[in-house]
């Protein structure tokens, strides 16, 4: 793991000094209240709206779990059917372990630079090293915002599929998309993660229940032919498309800086990370194996559609909270990025004024409208997930964390054998990010072109 965290102590000057007299354990577990300049939300002592209110277990249970274990788990069985059982399980577990390490590195970067609230802030620090801080802020900040909006769009798309399934395509799919957008926007109105997190309990409970119902129903109905392929023969494009869907399930890292920023004790973050990664990797593996074994090679994505029509309707009905709320969490992080950019350094962020509330509502509304446009423009679930992964998750979950580690350890790569091994590991992680991006764009482009029969902004039934 990274050994870079140095506990900041405040001097009488504007710069920050570092105390190297602490033991490694003390550096890891030290708890300090950040200086006002370190807190992206400013001094909250007399604030009307307080943001830094989350305990570590509150971040893990409702927020990180609900944000991560949602849409991603629904694409795993079809990925297993495409890749074969053995390669798919190796990828699920391997990418999960790698995502744990990269998530830890993000946390170390945040602890080293407490003022970081978004990827834009991190980009300002990274590119500041070469004299381009403004470019770095806008480049990574814009990428983060686009990624989150695309994820919001994927949840609106899933809402449309769900409504078509429940109603038997009762009306034009565009109408269902608009309804999903409006509901998501309403739930995104609260300004603090703590308020949004209360919704997340329902989200986590719903996805757990829906997946369990799907696994039990598919085990009873056995729509597959009983044949299990340990490996399969497929072309590179089809196989890599399935890989990107697995990567998407670990794409929660983009929101981690924002989550840590609203924790009361940011140094508790590793606890939340380890619990999250252990929980989601286990759930992904179990659900993928069970649904694939009984669903067969023709298992659908989202996986809730693999059972009988009646069971699928029940599962989709129970999954409504996670379809909505998991998207709302990502929407909240996206809106919070812009909101902090606009009001950082002012007292408007902490007030319940017409200006502050109006700005928050306006930002959220615009983002959800853009997300709806994306959902209607790319109306195939797997294709949208693949495109999102290629453009963004490849870097935010993997590649960028390797760059963060190299930045934090600059000049110390050959310090000892452990540091040299970690240097090699992080170079590999950067290469993995680049490969996922380049190959992912190619295969997602091919898939979207092949599915051009699914017209954009169409009233057609998307449940099939």
pLDDT at 205: 85
Band (60; pLDDT cuts 50, 70, 90): low
pLDDT at 58: 62
pLDDT at 59: 57
pLDDT at 104: 96
Least confident of 28-42, 210-224, 388-402: 28-42
- The CA radius of gyration of the chain, in Å to the nearest whole number, is 22
pLDDT at 30: 34
CA distance 376 to 173: 9
Q: Is the pLDDT of residue 461 over 90?
A: no
Ordered structural domains, the chain, with CATH: 50-450 (1.20.1740.10)
pLDDT tens-digit series, residues 174-209:
999 999 999 999 998 988 877 777 787 888 888 888
| Helix or strand (DSSP H, E) at 18 | strand 16-18
pLDDT at 44: 64
Among 246, 206, 191, residue whose Cα is nearest residue 78: 246
pLDDT at 244: 83
CA distance 198 to 193: 9
pLDDT at 49: 73
Residue 84 phi, psi dihedral angles, 5° rounding: 100, 155
pLDDT tens-digit series, residues 305-318:
777 888 888 888 88
pLDDT at 365: 96
pLDDT tens-digit series, residues 416-438:
999 999 999 999 999 999 999 99
pLDDT at 424: 96
pLDDT tens-digit series, residues 2-58:
444 333 433 333 333 333 333 443 344 333 334 445 667 666 666 667 777 777 766
Q: Which residues contact 337 (CB under 8 A, 6 or more apart)?
A: 117, 118, 120, 141, 144, 145, 148, 258
pLDDT at 120: 93
Residue 231's Cβ-count burial label (10 Å; 0-12, 13-18, 19+) is exposed
CA distance 308 to 305: 8
Q: Is the pLDDT of residue 63 over 80?
A: no
Question: What number is the average pLDDT over the span 89-94?
Answer: 95
Higher pLDDT, 197 or 294: 294
Question: What number is the average pLDDT over the span 70-97?
Answer: 87
pLDDT at 197: 74
DSSP state for residue 230 in the 8-state scheme: S
Question: What number is the average pLDDT over the span 117-139?
Answer: 93
Band (448; pLDDT cuts 50, 70, 90): confident
Question: What number is the average pLDDT over the span 405-415?
Answer: 93
Least confident of 20-34, 154-168, 399-413: 20-34
Sign, Cα dihedral of 27, 28, 33, 38 = positive
Higher pLDDT, 281 or 248: 281
pLDDT tens-digit series, residues 324-361:
988 898 999 999 999 998 888 777 777 888 888 999 99
pLDDT at 26: 35
If you average pLDDT over every residue of the chain, what do you get?
82
Residues facing 8 on adjacent strands: 18
């Amino acid at each position: 793991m990274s050994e870079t965290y140095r506990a900041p102590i405040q001097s009488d000057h504007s710069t920050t000094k570092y105390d190297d007299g602490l033991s490694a354990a003390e550096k890891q577990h030290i708890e300090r209240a950040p200086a006002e300049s370190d807190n992206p939300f400013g001094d909250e002592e007399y604030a009307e709206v307080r943001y830094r209110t989350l305990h570590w277990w509150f971040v893990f249970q409702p927020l990180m779990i609900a944000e991560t274990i949602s849409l991603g788990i629904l694409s795993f069985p079809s990925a297993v059917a495409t890749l074969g059982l053995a390669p798919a399980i190796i990828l699920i577990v391997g990418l999960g372990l790698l995502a744990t390490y990269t998530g830890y590195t993000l946390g170390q970067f945040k602890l080293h630079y407490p003022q970081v609230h978004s990827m834009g802030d991190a980009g300002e620090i990274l590119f500041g090293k070469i004299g381009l801080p403004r470019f770095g802020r806008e480049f990574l900040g814009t990428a983060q915002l686009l990624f989150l909006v695309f994820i919001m769009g994927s949840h609106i798309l899933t809402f449309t599929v769900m409504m078509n399934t429940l109603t038997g395509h009762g009306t034009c799919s565009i109408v269902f998309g608009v309804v999903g957008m409006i509901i998501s926007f309403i739930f995104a109105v609260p300004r603090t993660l703590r308020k949004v997190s209360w919704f997340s309990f329902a989200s986590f409970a719903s996805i757990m229940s829906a997946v369990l119902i799907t696994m039990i129903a598919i085990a009873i109905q056995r729509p597959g032919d009983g044949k299990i392929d340990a490996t399969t023969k497929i072309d590179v494009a089809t196989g890599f498309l399935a890989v990107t869907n697995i990567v998407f399930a670990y794409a929660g890292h983009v929101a981690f800086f924002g989550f840590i920023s609203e924790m009361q004790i940011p140094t508790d973050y590793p606890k939340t990370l380890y619990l999250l990664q252990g929980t989601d990797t286990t759930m992904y593996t179990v659900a993928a194996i069970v649904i694939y074994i009984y669903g067969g090679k023709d298992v659908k994505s989202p996986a809730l559609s693999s059972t009988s029509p009646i069971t699928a309707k029940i599962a989709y009905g129970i999954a409504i909270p996670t379809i909505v709320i998991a998207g709302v969490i990502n929407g909240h992080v996206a809106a919070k990025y812009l909101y902090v950019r606009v009001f950082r350094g002012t007292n408007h962020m902490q007030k319940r004024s017409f200006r502050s509330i109006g700005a928050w509502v306006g930002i959220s509304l615009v983002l959800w409208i853009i997300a709806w446009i994306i959902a209607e423009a790319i109306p195939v679930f797997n294709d949208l997930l693949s495109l999102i992964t290629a453009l963004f998750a490849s870097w935010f979950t993997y590649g960028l964390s390797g760059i963060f580690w190299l930045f934090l350890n600059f000049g110390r790569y050959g310090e000892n054998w452990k540091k040299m091994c970690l240097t090699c590991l992080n170079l590999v992680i950067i290469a993995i990010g680049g490969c996922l991006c380049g190959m992912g764009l190619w295969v997602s482009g091919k898939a979207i072109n092949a599915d051009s029969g699914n017209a954009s902004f169409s009233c057609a039934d998307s449940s099939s």
